[in-house]
Amino acid sequence: MQDEIIIKDPAELLEKIEELHPSDIADSLKKIKKNNDDEFYAVLKQLPDDILGDVLLELPDAIREETYSILSIEQLTDAVEELESDDATDIFQEIEEVDVEKAKEIFEGLEVEDQQDINWLKRYEEEEAGAFMQTELFSASLGETIGDSIARLKAAKAEDELENIHQVFVTNEEKVLIASILLEDLIIFDFDKTYKEIINSREDHFRPFKVQDNEEIDDVAKKFEKYDLSVVAVVGYGDMLIGRITSDDILDVIEQNATEQIYQLAGVDEEYEHEEDFITTSKKRALWLSLNLLTAILASVVIGLFESTIQQYVALAILMPIVASMGGNAGTQTLAVMVRQMALGEIDLDNSRDAVKKEIFISIFNGLTFAFIMGIIASFWFKEPMLGVVIGMSMIINLFSAGFFGATIPLLLKKFDIDPAVGSTVLLTTVTDIVGFFSFLGLAKLILL
């Protein structure tokens, strides 16, 4: 594997452009743009047509959308034509969002086959498998000989019509998918034999992996992970072969889902984070911060109930943040595990009991451990053994509640068809703060005063 190459000098980048991977070109362009916008656009306009589209795909969304206004209709048309159908459709739809009229002119300049592919793929919802498939694939009919199909494949590769071909999809006369054969398996057979002959001899071995075009892409991604697939056939009505989804597209889906979960757990909307307008982003974040403010006020109200207790025993004010912090961190650990396992389909509402039990036992064990540690520290720190007992007991209570609610809040949200990653953190923080402060100060009032 070659090392990453970043070239900051525009002239040097153009000189070595043919030697570089599109990803390295995109990284170099980002560096150039950071220093000088004009140089960035000057280099971009001089990129060869056959790599322009691939480079655009590697650029961040915000920068890529900027380029649609700068690049000419001819350049964008050539870029779209050079891409595989799924990527071409993605680029075209982004251009439509930026400039509808420009997109129309680009569409009119495309070859009929490319127009048909884009129109076909655009009809799918963004979460459907069909939206991620490419129509370029290598297929053969049952009656075709292996030798004839390999000759077709050689011709297609020579014309750069196909990329990343690792298998042949075999169909009947009605284009219904029958089998899938790896190219490495294909070369061991007699080239004069038909596909029907070799499939009949080992039918189970060539059973194809396939997904429906209207299947949710997240479910498709799980199949890729479970069966370690590199490509899967996409079929429509009656199992007719209409396309394929490759592992690079699925990696994008997995990365996107992981990013969304991280943003949602933090109360941040990914879509707005890519907005250049900081006011729009600030408003969206402010909604979650407002909710967090309300929960913080609730925690403060709980503290206010024990104002006289704190005044009589100042050490309580010093130790309060420790109780809240331990509960919050323990809850966040449990929450992250539960949300991730739910996203991967490892647990759901029906089989969550064991997972909840495990998290509760872990929280109790950690509660006992840190109760002992903090109890000793507090006893020696303030020379008051009973204070150690108080903070130890409250530590057990709060870590137990952190584990219990950290495991059950996502499940409860899921039951009401709410994304578990959305809002779980705020709710959990509220619970651990209130339980932590109430248990600590309440026990202090009962035991110390």
CATH of the domain at 274: 1.10.357.20
Q: What is the mean pLDDT of each run of 10 residues along the chain (449 residues)?
A: 75 90 93 91 92 94 91 95 94 94 95 94 94 93 94 87 87 94 88 92 86 94 89 94 92 79 63 57 74 86 91 91 92 89 80 91 96 95 93 96 94 84 81 93 91
Q: Residue 251 domain-assigned?
A: no
Q: Could you tell me if 233 and 167 are in contact, meaning their C-beta atoms sit under 8 angstroms apart?
A: no
Same domain, 321 and 426: yes
Tokens of 107: 């569409």
Same domain, 289 and 419: yes
Q: Residue 209 domain-assigned?
A: yes
Same domain, 119 and 143: no
pTM for the predicted model, two decimal places? 0.70
Same domain, 167 and 222: yes
Q: Residue 252 domain-assigned?
A: no
Same domain, 222 and 315: no
Q: Strands 177-182 and 167-171, how do they pair?
A: antiparallel
Same domain, 410 and 301: yes
Q: Residue 237 domain-assigned?
A: yes
Q: Residue 132 domain-assigned?
A: no
What is the pLDDT, as a whole number, of residue 128?
A: 95
Domain end point (choices 246, 279, 305):
246
Residue 322, SS3 per DSSP: helix
Same domain, 188 and 297: no
- Residue 179 CA to residue 172 CA, distance in Å, equals 10
Q: Which amino acid is at 17?
A: I
Number of domains within the chain: 3
Q: Residue 133 domain-assigned?
A: no
What is the pLDDT, as a whole number, of residue 185?
A: 87
Extended beta strands in 231-286, E state: 231-235, 241-246
Other beta carbons within 10 angstroms of residue 105's beta carbon come to 13
What is the pLDDT, as a whole number, of residue 286?
A: 77
Same domain, 108 and 191: no
Same domain, 59 and 31: yes
Q: Could you tell me if 240 and 174 are in contact, meaning their C-beta atoms sit under 8 angstroms apart?
A: yes
Q: Residue 256 domain-assigned?
A: no
Instruction: Tell me which residue range forms the domain holding 44.
Output: 10-123
Same domain, 296 and 393: yes
The CATH number of whichever domain residue 69 belongs to comes to 1.25.60.10
- Residue 308 CA to residue 327 CA, distance in Å, equals 24
Q: Could you tell me if 131 and 217 are in contact, meaning their C-beta atoms sit under 8 angstroms apart?
A: yes
Query: Based on the number of CB atoms within 10 Å of its own CB, is 144 exposed (0-12), middle (13-18) or buried (19 or more)?
Result: middle
What is the pLDDT, as a whole number, of residue 274?
A: 53
Same domain, 291 and 242: no
Q: In 16-111, which residue ranges form alpha helices assigned H by DSSP?
A: 22-35, 37-45, 49-58, 61-70, 73-82, 85-98, 100-109
Domain end point (choices 230, 246, 262):
246
What is the pLDDT, as a whole number, of residue 383?
A: 92
What residues contact residue 391 under an 8 Å CB cut-off, 6+ apart? 319, 322, 323, 371, 374, 375, 378, 440
88 Cα distance to chain centroid: 21
Q: Residue 264 domain-assigned?
A: no
Report phi then psi at 174, rounded to 5.
-90, 10
What is the pLDDT, as a whole number, of residue 264?
A: 65
Q: Which residues pair with 212 in a beta bridge?
A: 235
Same domain, 146 and 52: no
- Residue 167 CA to residue 145 CA, distance in Å, equals 15
Distances from the Cα of 159 to the Cαs of 96, 153, 156, 251, in angstroms? 30, 10, 5, 28
What is the pLDDT, as a whole number, of residue 260?
A: 73
The CATH number of whichever domain residue 203 belongs to comes to 3.10.580.10
Domain end point (choices 58, 89, 123):
123
